[in-house]
C-alpha cells in the first residue's frame, strides 16, 4: 500500500492536469456520497411563492418552475448520474474484457463470433440503439444501465482483443505455460494485468460517455422520470424557459454535466500511469 501511495504521489506531481482531474473526481464522489445531507433544501420540495427566482444568496442557482432549489437538485443528482455511469461501465468492462481476452487469446471461432457480435452492435448509431433498448425494455434506471452497458461493450472487447493478441505469445506467457499454468490462469494473472493500462483509458472515456448517454435519454424523455433530480431532466425542463429569460434553469445542470464529462476525459492518462506495471519499476 505504501508503495502504491508513493507511486500515486509521483504520478500526481508529474502531471498537474491529472491532479486537477483527480481533485474534480474527489469532489464528484463526495457530492455523490453526501449530497442528500449537505443539500440546503429538499430537492423535491415545491413552494409556489418562490417559482422561477434568479440566483440569490438564499438560492445560489435560483429556483425552478415549481419553486424547487436548483442548487440542491444539482447536488443530489450527482449520486444518480454517477451511479448509472459506474454501474454501466462496470458491466461493460467486465463483459467486454472477458469476451475480448477470449477472442484474442484463443482466436478461431471464438474470435469470429465475438467479432461479429461487436460489429453488429457498432453497426447501429449507439445512442439510437440505446433509445431502442430502453423503449423495448421499459423506462427504468436498470434498463438505462443495461442499454448503456450494451452500447459500450464493443469498445472494451476490441481493445482487450487487440492487446491480448499481441501478448499471447510473449515470453512471460510462454514461461507460465511451461510452469504448467492453465490458459485461464495465464489470462487472469499474466495477460489481463498487462492490458489494463489501455483499458483504463477506455474506462475513463466511457464514464463520460455513460453520463452523457443517461442525461441524453432523460432529456428526450426515455431516461429517469420526474420528479427525480437528474441533470438531463433538469436541462430539458430548463430549456423551455431560456427564451423567457430564466437562463439559470439549464445553465447550472448543464455546467455540472460538462464538468463531470471533462473530469473523466482528463483521468485517462493518470489511470493508465497508475496501473501500468512498467511505470512502477
Residue spans of the domains in the chain: they are: 2-41+60-280
The counts of H helices and E strands in the chain are 11, 0
Q: What is the mean pLDDT of the chain?
A: 87
d(CA 238, CA 252): 10
DSSP letters for 220-245: TTSSSPTTS--HHHHHHHHHTTTTTT
Whether pLDDT at 192 is above 70: yes
Query: 253: pLDDT confidence band, cut at 50, 70 and 90?
Result: very high
Report the pLDDT value the prediction gives residue 201, as an integer from 0 to 100: 81
Question: What pLDDT does residue 168 have?
Answer: 85
Residues 252-270: what's their mean pLDDT? 87
pLDDT reading at 260 higher than 70: yes
Alpha-carbon distance of 218 to 233, in angstroms, equals 5
DSSP 37-102: HH-SS-TT---GGGTTPPP-SSSTT-B-TTS-BHHHHHHHHHHHHHHHHHHHHHHHHHHHHHHHHH
Work out the average pLDDT over 40-47. Answer: 91
Identify the CATH homologous superfamily for domain 2-41+60-280: MetI-like (1.10.3720.10)
| Ranges 86-90, 188-192, 246-250: which has the least confidence | 188-192
Judge whether residue 15 has pLDDT over 60: yes
Q: What is the pLDDT of residue 225?
A: 84
Mind listing the pLDDT tens digit for each residue in 145-160? 999 999 999 999 999 9
Confidence category of residue 266, pLDDT binned at 50, 70, 90: confident
Between 13-22, 27-36, 98-107, 120-129, the lowest mean confidence (pLDDT) is in: 13-22
Amino acid at each position: 500500500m505504501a508503495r502504491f501511495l508513493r507511486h500515486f504521489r509521483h504520478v500526481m506531481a508529474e502531471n498537474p492536469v491529472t491532479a486537477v482531474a483527480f481533485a474534480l473526481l474527489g469532489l464528484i464522489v463526495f457530492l455523490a456520497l453526501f449530497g442528500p445531507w449537505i443539500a440546503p433544501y429538499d430537492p423535491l420540495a415545491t413552494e409556489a411563492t418562490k417559482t422561477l427566482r434568479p440566483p440569490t444568496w438564499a438560492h445560489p442557482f435560483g429556483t425552478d418552475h415549481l419553486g424547487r432549489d436548483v442548487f440542491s437538485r444539482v447536488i443530489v443528482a450527482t449520486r444518480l448520474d454517477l451511479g448509472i455511469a459506474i454501474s454501466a461501465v462496470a458491466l461493460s468492462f467486465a463483459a467486454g474484457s472477458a469476451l475480448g481476452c477470449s477472442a484474442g487469446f484463443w482466436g478461431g471461432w471464438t474470435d469470429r463470433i465475438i467479432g461479429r457480435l461487436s460489429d453488429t452492435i457498432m453497426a447501429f448509431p449507439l445512442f439510437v440503439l440505446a433509445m431502442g433498448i430502453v423503449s423495448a425494455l421499459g423506462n427504468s434506471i436498470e434498463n438505462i444501465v443495461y442499454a448503456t452497458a450494451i452500447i459500450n461493450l464493443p469498445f472494451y472487447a476490441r481493445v482487450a482483443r487487440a492487446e491480448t493478441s499481441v501478448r499471447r505469445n510473449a515470453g512471460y506467457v510462454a514461461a507460465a505455460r511451461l510452469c504448467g499454468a492453465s490458459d485461464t490462469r495465464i489470462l487472469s494473472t499474466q495477460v489481463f494485468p498487462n492490458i489494463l493500462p489501455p483499458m483504463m483509458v477506455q474506462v475513463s472515456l466511457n464514464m463520460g460517455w455513460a453520463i452523457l448517454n443517461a442525461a441524453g435519454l432523460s432529456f428526450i424523455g426515455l431516461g429517469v422520470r420526474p420528479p427525480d433530480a437528474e441533470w438531463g431532466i433538469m436541462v430539458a425542463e430548463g430549456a423551455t424557459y431560456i427564451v423567457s429569460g430564466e437562463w439559470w434553469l439549464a445553465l447550472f445542470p448543464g455546467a455540472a454535466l460538462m464538468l463531470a464529462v471533462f473530469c473523466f476525459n482528463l483521468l485517462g492518462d493518470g489511470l493508465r500511469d497508475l496501473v501500468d506495471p512498467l511505470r512502477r519499476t
